[in-house]
Amino acid sequence: MTTDTESQRSLLLSQSEALAGSECVHSLHSAPLSPCPPVSPTLLLPQGYSDGPQLLEDAMHMPHDLDSSEFLADDISIIAGGCLTGWHADSAFVLWRRILGILGDVNNIRCPRIHSKVFSYLYELWHKLAKIRDNLGISVDNQSALPKTLFIPPLRMLASWLFKATMLPAEFKNGKLQAYRLICEMMTKHQDVPPNSDFLVHLYHVMHEGFTSDDQDVLNTMIRWCSPRFFFLGMPGFTMLVGDFIAAAARVLITDNSECPRIEAQTVLGSLVCFPNLYQQMPSLQSTPKSQDIAVGKDDLKDYLVNILLKTARNEPNEGARCVAICSLGLWVCEELRHEKIHLHVNDAINVLGVTLKFGNKVVAHVACDIFQLLICHWQHLQKLEQSLPKRIIEIFVATLAFLLPSAEHSTVEADKKLMVSLLLCLLDWCMTVPLSILLEPITMPMLDDPASHKTPLLDYIYRVLHCCVSGSNLHTQQSHYLLSLSDLSTDYDPFLTLGQVKNSEPPLMHNSTGEFGNLLTVAEEKKRRNMELIPLTARMIMTHLVNHLGHQPLSGGPALLHSMVNENHDNPYVESSELSSEVFKSPNLQLFVFNDSTLVSYLQIPSDATSPSSTNSKENPSEVRVIVRDISGKYSWDGSVLYKTLDRTSLHCSGTGDQCSHPYLSTSFKQTSSHASRCSSELEAEDGVDVLDQLLEELGHSSPECLPQPQQRLVQPAPPPVGMNPETEGAIMEAIRRQAQQEEEEQTCRRNEDPSVKAASQREPIHQDPKAPFYFCRLLLNELGMNSWDRRKSFHLLKKNSKLLRELKNLDSRQCRETHKIAVFYIAEGQEDKGSILSNSEGSQAYEDFVSGLGWEVDLATHCGFMGGLQRNGSTGNTAPYYATSNVEVIFHVSTRMPSDSDDSITKKLRHLGNDEVHIVWSEHTRDYRRGIIPTDFGDVLIIIYPMKNHMFFIQILKKPQVPFFGPLFDGAIVTGTLLPSLVRSTCINASRAVKSRLTLYQSFYEERALYLEAIILNHKENLTFEDFAAQVFSPSPIYYPMSGTGSLTGSTSAELSVTVTTSESTEQASPTMPRASKNRVSGKLRRSASAISKSSN
């Protein structure tokens, strides 16, 4: 106990002055200052108070607004007018309020140190009240929701003390900072009772004074603790402070102090990018010089905000703040592209984002790459802004890859290679999204020494940079303008824009492969891992992807079906099994090859009626060729048939009136050109004025524009004349050619008349017979492709047909051919606080349903052929689900309201599917913040929580585990419109899933897995044969079966019967027209030996 009664009197004032309310308007420090004695906390507590701390905790449930008469019930304590003795909730609360009131106005404390201690205690007290409020209505078992509580803690009880503390002199700075911090936290908390207008006037005035304060510490405190949740609450008139928030954040960001809340300031700016378009003219508070009056102005905050974003995206030194700035700039670009009047600074923003792709800090550069990935779905809006803008973005990626490749391919830093992979994959998505005509346009270059470079299409430069990524950057350095450089880009783009350096907030993590994986991998596997080059592998995958899918995707079956589901047993008349089995290896119409030690190719001859029963092709050609390709990017199947055949005699006898011939000129073709095959040819005579060659060239240039020597130039256009050619020289050459032709014709006529041996009798056209060999057309195609030549022996081999190969082929076909992600989606209605009520939701609000429908396409799980993410086709996990896919990515959303919840078993199954996902989307319409523990799971590394706002915008909260790196484009505290919400959330979920997987030990992308499986198959099953044995097996893949007719029936045959069949003259001509006529007996001997060798190897 202290004996200084004067100091005690100055500290403890009357109870009425200390009660928190708007009437607390005492003057500051009217009494003279005195020394600051130590004050014991026991002075503020009545005797026996310490005996009931738990009762005190339980008592703080009565709001300040409630009258004591509401507590009159059957059991009333003495302090409330009853007769009950002891501690009760009402008595403890009233006594606690009275003891707090004994303090009086704490702002009259004369000692700054004691004043600071008091506000530190008030800060701790408020946090206890806030914690109590957060725990009200939460059940212990997390199975059901408790009824709504009647009493809530008075969280604004201390507001008047806090407001008054902000007006104290400078010597009370520590207490003022505590007051500002508590005001910010108090007003970013959910308000159970909306504040009245008088309270908001005091609040906005205090916040305005804090934002415009000259004290940097006050400014830092306001920005650090007043999060974008202030905008989320949407209190009346809050937009008046938007200008103050922007100005204060800008003042924080221009300082060089590393202790300043730079990330928080950048988050505040990023949360406001959608506000200017929603609120066309936002009022702003403006201080009047030499006066305490505050005026309301209407400045253009949009330009002010955008200029700050452009500056911070270029010069922000903090890594985390720079990442948020890049994301904010990307969100603003997307927001502007959705409006008719697009801001002029959009091009400047894209310029900053493009330059950031080659930034030294790989984390920041990776975020910029994610923003360009987001802009892919807005390419049409970019084209409306400027016609060449999508093509310019692709050019930026090509030039940036060429710029970074020399250093990245030899770098030992994992981040360098991962950035190159991200750039390559983003380039692939851009190429697959924009129309092919854009890729075939010439590049946009200012001036070049080589005029031919101006006509080179953009697609050519894309393949060039991919080829350099595979072969090495030094391959074509001597060739001028082989690659697109940064200096070759359009004058509208500044590739050398200066960017400020970034100070890494954390030291870079050193990844020691030997130390990290030495205990997990064998020496051979470790060596294989190191030898697997990521950049060349990715570039090779992209090249094969473009070759197979550019201009084709999406297919007629929809985006879910990208790769072939056809196997060697399908449509095979020699195989009865419905699944891929060892029976296919005995088929005489099938052979498996390895090409370039990287691709598996199966050649299969099938009946024509198996692919198109109603087509006339089956009558003209009984068989077709099916080629099944398995490579690093996926599995593809192509069916083809003979393109030309001999015309019937009747087709040449056409009427003289110019009618079309009755027989088609093109008998068969590939499936893609079937429409041209059905078209009749014109008259062949030249005097009819129809040039058939011109028609063929026109059709070829239209159907296959890649055959054109230059874009927009037809094949029928004459080539440019040689250099130095003039009309006189051309006439002389033509005259010499005519004289030579006439002289040769006269000489040939004389020889025909004088020498009888020159004359030849007319011969009949041979009778057409269908080839009986089951592999004839495949062999014919291989001959036309040059695969049977000696030059191809180093790159074209056979596969050993055995059970191990069959298992590995099945395993390879089961691997994904695209990047896959599965995302969980939860719906939380108002008042739902427990797992049971959340999982039992079978539908949501209209806004929620609109959001879910925007995440992807609703697919029927019973017939869906794409990525399922563990969902069942039998309806036990729902009948439909949102699905999204590009040519490179598949995403399935596990939506809680789509799954059945009619029994405990279905609830358990629903929780199993949702809880095992690494990324969760939570749509919460509850007033309380979502807690991670509501859905108990060891997964859920990233939670993206969406809170609808009153102004039809949406507040985003992101909770992630500490080991998950930064990802975008959404960030914690972002506020976006409903139009952008689905695409932004989907893009953020994909990036979050990639960020989580990047931390998994030994994680490999889909094409890395396929490359390893392909490498194992080729290494273990490639058969090295002599040229003679290779040719023999190509001639007859399985000699033990041989069809006696063209129907495909199976007949057993011995090797002797095979030799007799081959040595027969007429059957040899039909089975193999490409074999030489001489030495037939010797050929049959080779076939006998190779046939016996095959039968031995098969055993």
Q: Is the pLDDT of residue 659 over 60?
A: no
Rounded-to-integer distance, Cα 893 and Cα 823, Å: 5
Rounded-to-integer distance, Cα 177 and Cα 291, Å: 24
Q: Is the pLDDT of residue 787 over 80?
A: yes
% of the chain residues with pLDDT over 90: 47
> Which tens digits make up the pLDDT trace of 121-134?
999 999 999 999 88
pLDDT confidence tier of residue 136, bands split at 50, 70 and 90: confident
Rounded-to-integer distance, Cα 669 and Cα 361, Å: 53
pLDDT score at 833: 83
pLDDT confidence tier of residue 605, bands split at 50, 70 and 90: very high
pLDDT score at 644: 61
pLDDT score at 290: 54
Q: What is the DSSP letter of 773?
A: -
How many whole angstroms from its chain centre is CA 652? 58
How many whole angstroms from its chain centre is CA 568? 33
Residue 1007: which of 820, 732, 738, 766 has the closest Cα? 820
Residue 344: which of 301, 391, 312, 385 has the closest Cα? 385
Rounded-to-integer distance, Cα 267 and Cα 224, Å: 10
Rounded-to-integer distance, Cα 784 and Cα 772, Å: 20
**H or E segment and range at residue 296:** strand 294-297
Task: Please say whether the beta carbons of 51 and 86 come within 8 A.
Answer: no
pLDDT confidence tier of residue 522, bands split at 50, 70 and 90: low
pLDDT score at 99: 86
Residue 187 DSSP SS3: helix
pLDDT confidence tier of residue 1067, bands split at 50, 70 and 90: very low
Q: Is the pLDDT of residue 1068 over 50?
A: no
Task: Please say whether the beta carbons of 675 and 668 come within 8 A.
Answer: no
Radius of gyration of the chain (CA): 40
Q: Is the pLDDT of residue 23 over 70?
A: no
Question: Is the pLDDT higher at 475 or at 250?
Answer: 250
pLDDT score at 864: 92
Task: Please say whether the beta carbons of 77 and 62 come within 8 A.
Answer: no
Give me the residues paired with residue 482 across strands. none
Rounded mean pLDDT of 376-382? 94
Rounded-to-integer distance, Cα 1008 and Cα 1052, Å: 44
Rounded-to-integer distance, Cα 275 and Cα 976, Å: 9
Q: Is the pLDDT of residue 1061 over 50?
A: no
Q: What is the DSSP letter of 952?
A: S
560 residue type, one letter: A
Question: Is the pLDDT higher at 84 or at 164?
Answer: 164
Rounded-to-integer distance, Cα 760 and Cα 757, Å: 7
Q: Is the pLDDT of residue 1053 over 70?
A: no
Rounded mean pLDDT of 333-358? 92
* Structural domains in the chain plus CATH codes: 1-193 (no CATH), 394-489+520-552 (no CATH), 565-648+665-681+770-812+1025-1053 (no CATH), 815-1003 (3.40.50.11210)
% of the chain residues with pLDDT over 70: 77
Question: Is the pLDDT higher at 59 or at 918?
Answer: 918
Rounded-to-integer distance, Cα 631 and Cα 597, Å: 10
pLDDT score at 770: 76
Q: How many CB atoms lie within 10 A of CB 216?
A: 13
pLDDT confidence tier of residue 299, bands split at 50, 70 and 90: low
Rounded mean pLDDT of 927-931? 89
pTM recorded for the entire structure: 0.78
Rounded-to-10 torsion of CA 741, 742, 743, 746: 120
Rounded mean pLDDT of 885-908? 92
Rounded-to-integer distance, Cα 527 and Cα 442, Å: 43
pLDDT score at 663: 35
Rounded-to-integer distance, Cα 986 and Cα 854, Å: 9
pLDDT score at 856: 94
pLDDT score at 295: 59
pLDDT score at 1092: 36
pLDDT score at 818: 93
Give me the residues paired with residue 826 across strands. 922
Q: What is the DSSP letter of 84?
A: B
Q: How many CB atoms lie within 10 A of CB 825?
A: 28
Rounded-to-integer distance, Cα 168 and Cα 209, Å: 13
Residue 223 DSSP SS3: helix
pLDDT score at 1059: 37
Residue 325: which of 335, 314, 338 has the closest Cα? 314
Q: Is the pLDDT of residue 946 over 70?
A: yes
Rounded-to-integer distance, Cα 961 and Cα 941, Å: 6
pLDDT score at 97: 85
Question: Is the pLDDT higher at 103 or at 273?
Answer: 273
pLDDT score at 619: 56
Rounded-to-integer distance, Cα 38 and Cα 24, Å: 26
Task: Please say whether the beta carbons of 605 and 775 come within 8 A.
Answer: yes
For residue 416 the two structure tokens come to 């360098």
pLDDT score at 618: 52
Rounded mean pLDDT of 883-887? 94
Rounded-to-integer distance, Cα 978 and Cα 958, Å: 18
Rounded mean pLDDT of 1021-1044? 81
pLDDT averaged over the chain?
79
Residue 383: which of 313, 437, 331 has the closest Cα? 437
Per DSSP, helices labelled H in 136-227 are 159-165, 173-187, 197-211, 216-225
Q: Residue 103: what are its φ and ψ, rounded to 5°? A: -65, -25
Cβ-proximal residues to 213 (8 Å cutoff; 6+ apart), any chain:
219
Give the pairing of strands 634-640 and 623-631: antiparallel
Residues in the chain: 1099
pLDDT score at 942: 95
Q: What is the 3-state secondary structure (H, E, C) of 26-80?
A: CCCCCCCCCCCCCCCHHHHCCCCHHHCHHHHHHHCCCCCCCCHHHHCCCCCEHHH
pLDDT score at 235: 93
Rounded-to-integer distance, Cα 649 and Cα 652, Å: 6
pLDDT score at 449: 53
